[in-house]
Structure 1
């Protein structure tokens, strides 16, 4: 079922699971402590041994400081809406806050 064909290409290292990366690292001499490494450590050591340059980090267009300022402002507005017992506006603001938090997590 999981057997590879001759024409199949090896998928990129970033897309591989930790188990697959450990199998590759075991085959390379000079790498010790494979089972104690996490995915990031495995990727860097395999790249170093193979001589692959690390891909440049993509700069996200999201400025986390500005997004966090928006979140603080929305939280204040949501507090006012809850105090005024306006649940519909409070719900909308809560959803906006959740979306903005997702943006900050993706940017990190």
Structure 2
């Protein structure tokens, strides 16, 4: 999955992701959803990226700081500032750990 999303092939990634979700032993993982959200963001498919965000929660997969950051970035790049602000507020309400490293 990682290699396909790196190449930027959104159609292949979506096809593989659907196949994965249909497997009996599928277990939702943050890293897969984060890759898919970033890939959709690269293609300016913000609605689909946001849909993945909600879908992952339906699979009981809790968004982390990377997930929120990818989604906020996607909406910011698209100029959808209201969505970006709502997502940021959701992140703060969810008390997602934002780690800041001082060098």
TM-score by length of 2: 0.30
| Higher CA-based Rg | 1
More helix by share: 2
* Higher relative contact order, chain-length normalized (CA < 8 Å, sep 6+): 2
